[in-house]
A and B are shown apart, each in its own frame.
Chain A
Amino acid sequence: MDVNSEMNKGNAVNVRKMIEQKKSSRNLNNLIEKVMPKLLFVIASISILTTVGILYTLLSETFEFFQRVPIVDFFTGTVLRPLSQDPQFGVLPLLTGTIISSVIAMFVAIPIGLMTAIFLSEYASDKVRRTLKPMLEILAGIPTIVYGFFAFTFVTPILRDIIPGLQATNILSPGIVMGIMIIPMVASLSEDAMSSVPRAMREGALALGATRLEVTGKVVIPAAISGIIASFVLGISRAIGETMIVTIASGSTKNFTFDITQSMQTMTAYIVEVTGGDAPAGSTIYYSLYAVAMTLFVFTFLMNLLARYISRRFREEY
């Protein structure tokens, strides 16, 4: 609002005119004041509509799918042959593929991410931390398709020199690369949790003669444990939802196996394969897409809830 600069002209101003002006603008202002909150509420509810939209599309089509394929068969079937003459829709091959790739990823991301967090939070000087942290963030900002390309054209050939019998498409290579992608996420969330442990607790332990390592192990990690575990859970959730790396580097064999040298398919890669551009609407395979997506959604949703619950439930109040 412009402050009226006519003030200094003093008596020459027609006061009545000014009052009129003020009144008319006040009416407009009042209208804005009334409309704005409502308008903003409508905008804010778009995010809720998105969630409702996701749930509605997934649920309605999944329901249709379970009309055709019994829910028990879906969750206990070990054979997935969506396109064959007598199609079978067992989701277990996809579940094992998803879980195994996520577990491999966490084998990489948890130890390295946690140790990185400890280094940055407990050992690194301010200057070192300020240099290293942004560089690690770059890792998180690289598009997953680039990781997929890297896994397929670089990591897989190297692994195949080391491990005989490793297939050209296998679950191990994308698992490892996915882990590398998740390192910054685990590291930065864990580091946040550790940094929020009050200095006084560290100083107290140091004053009693503890080494940095002992302070970390006996004071900082126990105090920050909820945030650290939550970062692991969020990392797993991220790995479960990852698509491009596994699509490119793990092939599309719907193996029900626990052999990590084999090609497997994850739930996300199945969705990519089946849509293949645009699945024909109305076929059972089209509906299977939604059933798989629903399973994926529920998985990641529960993981995210769990992470939030852990960080709230076990947070130590200082």
Chain B
Amino acid sequence: MNIDTTTQTNTTPKYIDKDTVQKRMNTRLVKNNLAKGLFFVSTMFGLVVLAILIFRVFSQGIGWINIDFLTGRLSNNPDRAGIMGAILGTLWLMAVVAPVTMLLGVGTAIYLEAYAKKGKIHSFIQANISNLAGVPSIVFGILGMTIFVRALDLGGVVLAGGLTMSLLVLPIVVVASQEAIRAVPNHLSEASYGMGATKWQTIKNVILPAALPGILTGAILSLSRAIGETAPLIVIGIPALLIPFPGGLMDRFTILPVQIYYWTIDASLVAEYANLAAATIIVLLIVLFILNSTAIIIRNKFQQRF
């Protein structure tokens, strides 16, 4: 957008010297353009780093990805090692996190948006959720270790890891669901009440279906956060070598990020582990990409325009 630089001619040239104004204007415009360039370069910096990171990981790991690697069991021998166990562990973790966060997250959101009286309790829960969102993930790990692993004596199993992760990502689902519920226009629920429906019927039959895309988007995003977190699970305790596949909620398990962690720090033991770590990163990034794309597609496809 160009600024019109012609200044109004004044009958008293004493006050405004056109030349000076013109000169100053030029330097100001040059400064503006320089700054614009700088801001653009800054914006690109992050993207360039992203490109380097992805290129680097792919060039290091892509040669190690084959069907045996994807379906094989973990091994000390890099030529034989596979990550099926970590992939299954990741899926099992999702199988716990998805239903638990949906139930807790959506329930909390409905309570806050439809039932809680605007007042002390409401703002307390709301503040509490935004605080939880800012708690470092490792603290959730300690909570999980103390309560699920030790006090409830579950050990480092899928269920303990899943519950810990559920609490960690709960704020994401709550906030996304709240926004989705808030975005449902009032006239829909008014119409429902007008037809004689009760409050719960209105929520169940009108508000939730309308808010579902937003809620699902939040749920999927929270899943992708949960399977990318490493620290809480390391605190909970995942064995460095675990060959059998997890087959249930009470089995020990490992997940992709933890496998990456062990292979990265063990690279000095066996140099090829660094390449295995890179290959595992590729798999993890692809899984996350699929999840996030799904979320975006849902958001765009099913977003009802009211």
Identify the A interface with B (CB < 8 A): 1, 29, 32-33, 36-37, 39-41, 43-48, 50-51, 53-54, 57-58, 61, 111-112, 115-116, 118-120, 123-124, 132, 135-136, 138-139, 141-150, 152-154, 180, 183-184, 187, 206, 209-214, 234, 237, 240-244, 247-248, 268, 271-272, 275, 277-278, 281, 289-290, 293, 296-297, 300-301, 303-304, 308
Contact = CB atoms under 8 A, between A and B. Distances in A.
Interface of B: 1, 3, 5, 7, 25, 28-29, 31-32, 35-36, 38-40, 42-43, 45-47, 49-50, 52-53, 56-57, 103-104, 107-108, 110-112, 115-116, 124-125, 128-132, 134-143, 145-147, 149-150, 156, 167, 170-171, 174, 197-201, 205, 224, 228-231, 234-235, 237-239, 257, 260-261, 264-265, 267, 274, 277-278, 281, 284-285, 288, 292
Contacts of B265: 248
Nearest to A39: B107
A148 B264 contact: yes
Contacts of B238: 277
Given A29-B201, A146-B57, A141 B224 contact: yes
Contact of A243 (B43, B130, B138, B205): B138
B205 A50 contact: no
Main secondary structure of the interface of B (DSSP, over half): helix
Given A150-B53, A296-B138, 13 more contacts: A29-B201, A43-B104, A47-B132, A57-B143, A58-B142, A141-B224, A141-B288, A143-B284, A149-B57, A271-B138, A275-B142, A277-B234, A277-B238
Nearest to A32: B200
Contact of B50 (A138, A149, A297): A138
26 contacts: A40-B110, A44-B116, A47-B171, A50-B132, A50-B167, A50-B170, A51-B132, A54-B135, A61-B146, A111-B42, A115-B39, A119-B42, A120-B43, A141-B228, A145-B260, A149-B281, A180-B46, A206-B3, A212-B36, A243-B138, A248-B265, A275-B142, A278-B145, A289-B142, A293-B142, A297-B135
Contacts of B3: 206, 209-211
B235 A275 contact: yes
B18 to A, nearest CB: 13
A243 B231 contact: yes
Given A144-B230, A243-B231, A272-B231, A44 B135 contact: no
B135 A136 contact: no
B306 to A, nearest CB: 22
A144 to B, nearest CB: 7
Contact of B128 (A51, A53, A112, A138): A51
Contacts of B150: 281
A149 B36 contact: no
A123 B239 contact: no
A308 B142 CA distance: 26
Contacts, number: 258
Given A142-B53, A142-B285, A143-B229, A43 B136 contact: no
A272 B235 contact: yes
Nearest to A34: B200
A118 B264 CA distance: 37
Contacts of B1: 206, 212
B237 A47 contact: no
Contacts of B292: 141
A281 B29 CA distance: 66
A44 B116 CA distance: 10
Given A149-B281, A212-B32, A278-B145, A119 B200 contact: no
Most chain A CB neighbours (cut-off 10 Å) among B125, B138, B167, B265: B138
A57 B47 contact: no
A119 B39 contact: yes
A115 B43 contact: yes
B53 A146 contact: yes
CB-based closest 9 A-B pairs = A241-B136, A143-B228, A43-B107, A115-B42, A119-B39, A40-B111, A243-B231, A304-B134, A211-B32
Nearest to A129: B43
A48 B125 contact: yes
A209 B5 contact: yes
A209 B7 CA distance: 9
A142 B235 CA distance: 21
B142 A271 contact: yes
